[in-house]
Every structure is written in C-alpha cells, then in structure tokens.
Structure 1
Amino acid sequence: MFVHGSASTFRSAAAPGLFAPDLFEDDFGLAPHLASQGIDVWGIDLRWTFVPVEETDFSDMQGWTLGSHVEDLRRATAIARSVRAASGSGRGRLFFSGHSLGADIALAYANAETQRPPGHRDVRGLIPIDIIYKLTSPQTQGLRDDAAARYAANRALYDAGTYEFGPGAQLAPLIGAGLSAPSDPSPLAPGWTNLQAATAVFTNTYLFYAPLPAYTPHYHFSAGVFDPSTGAPVGCQHVDAIDMLQVAQRFPPYQALIEAVEIDALISGAVDVPYDDHLHEVTVPVLHVGAAGGFGAAGAETLSLLGSTDTTAHIVQLQPPGAEVVDYGHVDLLWAADSEALVWQPIADWIATR
C-alpha cells in the first residue's frame, strides 16, 4: 500500500508513466517495477488531490489532519485486502510505503495500529521514503529548532483561519514563465532567466521556504547542475529539467495546512500529538529509504525509536560528505533515470526477503 506525498498523486509518485505518458514510458515508476516482479501495488489519492484550482472555500480542510488520512488509508486497505482475498491472493497483511508526507501517514498508521488486536492489524512491514518523522538526539537539535519555527508560523496562520497552502497554485506562474518565456529575465531572481528560476524549484527547493527554514539546509527535489559563474541552475543531473517543469504544472493546486502543522509538531516536539505515542510498540520490519540531498540520513533517526529489531537504512548518496546540496534529491528517488537501480530494486529485494 503506497501513499503519495505533497503536491502529487499516487500516479505521479508511484507510476509517472501513467500520470504523464507523454514524458515517461508507460512502465516507468516504482509501482510498475514492483509489479513486474510479482508485487502488487495499491494506493490512494489523498483528499486534497480532488480540490479544483478555482476553489475558494477551504473550510473543509480545517480537519484534514494526519489522523483523517490514516482513517482514509484504513478504508482503502480494507478494500485492497478484500479484493486480494477474492482474487485468490489471500488476506495477508500488506507492506506500507509512502514518499514524503505519505511516509508520515504510513508511520502514523503503524503507530495507531499497535492499539488494535493483532488479528485486526494490516501492516506487515514499513518502507518510509525520504522523510523526517521524529527527532530526539542532540545531533539533530538544529533541525528540531527549525521545525519548531515552521510549526509556530504555520500554526499562527491556521489559528487565524487559513486552512490551505497551495504549492501547486503558488508555483504555477513561475513554472509557466519558465516554459513559455524561458530566456526572458526573471523578475524574481535578478541575473537569472525565467527557466533558471523555474528550475530552482527542483534544484534549490530550500530557497522557497524562506523566510522559514527548510527541512534540511540543502533540501531539494532534484540534484542540480549549476553555472559556476552565476550559481544559477542550468539543469538537473538525474532528470530532464523541462520534463520536471511540465510535470509540476500538473501538481494538485492545494493541500491542507494542518498537515504541515502536525508534521512539524512531530519533528520538533513543540506540542504533543498522538502520532508518536506508540512508536516503541511498532515491531514490524522497517526499511528507511532516503536521499542525501533530500531529508538525508537524519530521517533514519526514527528507526531507533521503534520497537522493531529488523530495521535497515538505505540512503542514496552519490557525492562526498559536505556536498549534499548537489546530491541525490527528494524526487530523484521516484523520477530519476537511475532510480530503478538505486532505489526501486533495493526495495523489491528487501520485500522479497520478508
């Protein structure tokens, strides 16, 4: 069972060949790769993926918490297990995976499920992909402080009546200009072209969190190639930058702000939330997959908080320490040409042994 992350859908994250067949081969993606090895992949689209760009009333999003996503996932899982049973595949438990926000939801699901009788549980194993869920060590105090700052700012917005944030809608003009007038000077980045400024959404993602700090100082979607004289991004190392911008034009426009509030509460410990109350009771096998240029190795710290004795961290790092700003990125894990060898097959191998 796979849960997509922010500004995406199940298809864009796990089966981009189905989401954008004009840009990817039909069988490209984590889900088709696993399916080719006899592993069926199920998933859901989160509630906010259905909100149209013209929507102006976001009051429903006030209550679209991680907990509500967990309940939606529980319903989807019940359907998946019933269909598997009816088709002769048995009613066994499923491996749960998710990318980014989806990994948060998968972990929250496993945390809550520990309070259900063993015969009523769904999770066979967990594969969180590039996320920081909970930090407690002195070495990650700086990241916790950054999360506390984001929590305070977003909680204030939420308490004032803002219930949505729209990365898809907010970035649409920038990305549109990069595609329609790529050589024109960017009004947002002096000395850069529109295309370079738009490419920075992927290669310099951390800049777009300002004035707040990003999840990690080097956080980016895709490893970039940069002009040595200006520092402007001129492409991506593992994906085609133009293709990525075309994909980004199709991102869902909005999602629920309360998700970001709760995630940063979890990371920082700023306030108590229920999604980490029973992590020590999670005993299923866990494979943490990370990108050195995304959430990095810090995300694997959550493994030490679980009750599982079968935990593995697989961090894709192609650059030397200290060069994380140009290392494998958050969505390179799903969309890069070499992600099949670096990410998808290691996941398939891990599942096969469990």
Structure 2
Amino acid sequence: MSRLGLAIAMLVACAPAWASPLTHTEAEQLSSVRAPFAVTREHVTDDIYHYQFDIRVGSTPNARVRIHRVVRELAPWRPRPTQRAVMLLHGDFANFVTNFMPSLGNPASSAPGLAPYLVSRGIDTWGVDRRWTLPTADGDISDMGEMGVNQALGDTAVALAFARSTRTVTDRDPGRIVLGGFSHGAQLTYAYAAADGRHVSAIAALDIYYDLAPEDADLRAFACANAEAERDALAQGVTDSSNSFFITAGLLARSAPLEPSPLFPSYTNRGVLLTLAGQTWLLAPYTHTYHLSAPLLDADGNVSAMRESSEDRVSAWFASAPPHQALREAADFDDIWCGTSPRPELSNIRVPLFYLGAASGFGDHGLYSTTRVSSTDVTTLVIRRFGPDRVAEDFGHGDLLYAEDAPTLAWRPFAAWLLRH
C-alpha cells in the first residue's frame, strides 16, 4: 500500500481523536468505514493525478462510498498541499468522472473537465459517487430501493469527514471545506447544508432550484406529478430508473450518426442527440426552454447543430452514463420541489453561497432559492449569451461543464469565489 493509503488506513482505523477540529460525532461518521479499502491512482494531465477510494460502509451489495480526489503531486502519492478544498456532487446519468473529469470517462471526452481546472488553480478537488452509479449493467441492484436522498446525505457526510481527515494528514489542514454540486448534485448540496452542514465552510449550487418561486406554480405542479408517479412505481416494486436511453443515444450518435434511430425512427441517431440535448424541455420541462446544450435552430425551429458544446462532448457524456439510477432518489428530489413532504429548509443555511446558473438551464429560476437562505454572503451568476427573445438558443445546463467557453465564462468566476472562501 502507498504511503498515502497507509496513512489513511491508520487514520480510519483509529478514528482520529488527534484531529481536534473533528467533533466526536464527526469521528463517529468515520467509524462506519471498514478497512481495508481499495485505492487507485491514475494520471490526468501534467502533474495532476486522480485518486479513487472505494470504502465499504455496510453489508448490502452496493454499500460502498466511492470518493474521488484530484490533486497536483510533489511525488507519487504525495499531494501538493493546498489551503482551499471543494467536494463536488454529480448530477443525473453521470458520476464524478463523467461530470467533472470527462477525459477519463468511457468513452473519453475531449472536454478538459472542471476538476483539473480547479486543481491547476490551487484548489484540492474531491467528489463522491452516489451508490446507484456503482453496479454494472448486469450487476446486483437488490439494494437499489434504499438509495434515496437520506442515504446520499449520510454518504456525503462520510465522504466529507474522510476528506477532512485525509487533508489533515497530507495538507496539515483539518478545516472545513466547500461543498458544491451540479444539477441534482446541487439540490443534494442544498439539502445537506440545510439538514446537517457539518464539515462545510460554504456551498456552491451549479444550476438548480430547491425552493420554487410563487410564479413557478406550473413547475411545482410538474414536480408533484412526477413525484406521485414515481411513488406509485416504487409501490409496485420498481426501483431502477435505467439510463439505457441516454447510453444508447450517445453511443449511436458516435458510431452511426446518419443511420435511422431505433429510439425515434423518424430521426437519425445524430438528430436524436441534437434534439435530446438542444430541446430537452420536450421531455423534461424543468423550465419552459430547458435544454442541456445550447442549440442552433433552423428556420423550422429544429436543432441543426450544437452552439456551445461539441457533439463529441455531449455524446460522450450520454454514452458514459452509469447503467442504473435510483428511482427513490428521483422521487425524493421531486418531493422536495413539490414541497408536500417534510424536507430540510433553506433558512437553516448560514454559510456563504455561490449560485452559478445557465440561462436556459435552471438559470434565473434558481435565483429564488438563494433568497431563502439565512446566509449574509450570497453570490449569484447566470451565464447568458442573448436577451430574453433568444432564450431558447442560450447557454444550456450541461454547457456549464462541457462548453468550449466554459473555462472562461463559468469556471474562472467559480474558482475565484472558491479561492476567497
């Protein structure tokens, strides 16, 4: 085992009382970790490396917390110390790698990735995968029905405690860190900060809403209808919300773009990708012009090309999706938006908040949530190219991660905020 792995194994086994900034309760969160655990290391670019920790936390088939760390190294297994750290939570049909380090995905993407960008600017970047990302296409999903928001909150707490303890060893910095997320990972970030907030010095929400404004009653009704349908399916024993649609769309757009699509026979495989990414509101109207990637529209209003993110990047994002996704988590998230079930309240959040939106993602609709927290330090930025008359063509949800100009428009201000917090 590497020096780093040995140090962490000793730290976990001893539930480190010497790390004084960790309270007794925080140390207990680490006590569920069962050593030994798997650690891997792979090269990203230049002196940046990716560590992955698979930590068993229970006896069910997928009772593991998969934690990621992306760092610059002084030597093999020896991270360069930093004073700033962030943990990023991924969105739907994705994991940490495919959202934040897609050049290491399968298939590999040409997108450079938010995580290496932040690391190159002196920010220690962590992540955690939710348990539904772990099983293979034919893997054991008998515990999928347990994978809801409450379980994800617990796993996030374990990952944050692990990250802080590791940084105490490698960086001599046991302080709290920033928790951030993209899409539903940002909704989980809000929920964690509102429900617990331990380990967290600030939060960053990348393009999401948590509380819906009064004028967004139609969006709330959509969430309520989804939640009801998802709860009905769960009651009938359905637990897996398969990502096979995205995977198939991405793979066929890459391998046979001009062939008729088996998903929608009136479209080519490329046409399915363009429409699914550029007019996502047709299937998922989270806002009235919601789309994953900004489209170029022809005279008939059809998507002819991608405006911000290349087809290679978008198709790789889809094709690299985990095969499974937990239906219980989807229902829990929709219940939060619906507001009919008990949920952590945003007024409990007092740490600094950064909201980064995309004009035609959740965009301006996410601003209302930032007014509901008790924080006195709130920063908001919505990336847009055009005025209201061209919102259907504007910066999309996924463009925050995959657009050619994402490093300049979105990542640079995010990094600058992190370095101040």
Common fold by TM > 0.5: yes
Identify if the C-alpha distance between structure 1 residues 20 and 33 changes in structure 2 by more than 3 Å, giving closer, same or farther: farther
State the match for 1:139 in structure 2: 215
1:244 aligned partner: 314
Greater relative CO, 1 or 2 (CA 8 Å, sep 6+)? 1
Contact 1:199 1:245 in 2 (8 A): no
With over 3 angstroms needed to count, the CA separation of the structure-2 counterparts of 1:88 and 1:184, relative to structure 1, is: closer
Residue 11 of structure 1 pairs with residue 88 of structure 2: no
**Bigger Cα displacement from structure 2, 196-205 vs 39-48:** 196-205
**Aligned match for 2:229, one of 138, 150, 153:** 153
Find the counterpart in structure 1 of residue 365 from structure 2.
298
- Offset from partner CA, 1:264-316 (integer Å, 9 cap, x none): 111121x223333xx21211000011111111211121111111011121111
Aligned residue in 2 for 1:93:
176
Q: CA offset at residue 76 of structure 1?
A: 1.0
Q: Which amino acid aligns with 2:89?
A: V
Pairwise CA distance, 1:187: 5.8
Residues 1-354 of structure 1 aligned to structure 2 (within 5 Å): 1-19=87-105, 22-24=108-110, 28-55=112-139, 58-113=141-196, 121-135=198-212, 137-166=213-242, 168-186=243-261, 189=264, 192-209=267-284, 214-229=285-300, 231-269=301-339, 271-276=340-345, 279-354=346-421
Give the 3 Å change call, closer, same or farther, for CA 174–88 of structure 1 in structure 2.
Answer: closer
Contact 2:281 2:289 in 1 (8 A): yes
CA distance in 2, matches of 1:42, 1:188: 36
1:177 and 1:22 mapped to 2: Cα distance?
Answer: 15
Which structure's residues are more often helix, by fraction? 1
Q: 1:132 is matched by which residue type in structure 2?
A: Y
Q: CA distance change for structure 1 residues 94 and 321 in 2, over 3 Å: closer, same or farther?
A: same
Deviation at 1:74, TM superposition (A): 0.9
Q: Say whether the 8 Å CA contact 1:262–1:273 is kept in structure 2.
A: no
Between the aligned partners of 2:393 and 2:290, the Cα distance in structure 1 is 10
Scaled by the length of structure 2, the TM-score of the pair is 0.75
The amino acid of 1:321's aligned partner reads: P
More strand by share: 2
Helix, strand or coil: the match of 2:231?
A: helix
Contact 2:249 2:315 in 1 (8 A): no
String of CA shifts for 1:244-280, please: whole Å, max 9, x gaps. 21332111111111111111111121x223333xx21
Contact 1:3 / 1:99 at 8 angstroms: preserved in 2? Answer: yes
1:118 matched to which residue of 2? none
User: If the length of structure 1 is used for normalisation, what is the TM-score?
Assistant: 0.89
* AA aligned opposite 2:209: I
Report how far residue 21 of structure 1 moved: 8.2
Over the matched positions of the two proteins, sequence identity in percent amounts to 34
Query: How far has the Cα of 1:347 moved from its partner?
Result: 0.7
Aligned CA distance change for structure 1 residues 220 and 173 (closer, same or farther; 3 Å): same
Q: For residues 185 and 164 of structure 1, what CA distance do their matches in structure 2 show?
A: 28
Aligned-pair Cα RMSD in Å: 1.9
Deviation at 1:188, TM superposition (A): 5.3
Distance change (3 Å), C-alpha of 1:257 and 1:4: same
Taking a change above 3 Å as real, the CA distance of residues 103 and 241 of structure 1, as seen in their structure-2 partners, is same
User: Any conservation in 2 of the 1:280–1:306 contact (CA below 8 Å)?
Assistant: yes
Distance 1:206 1:58, change over 3 A: farther
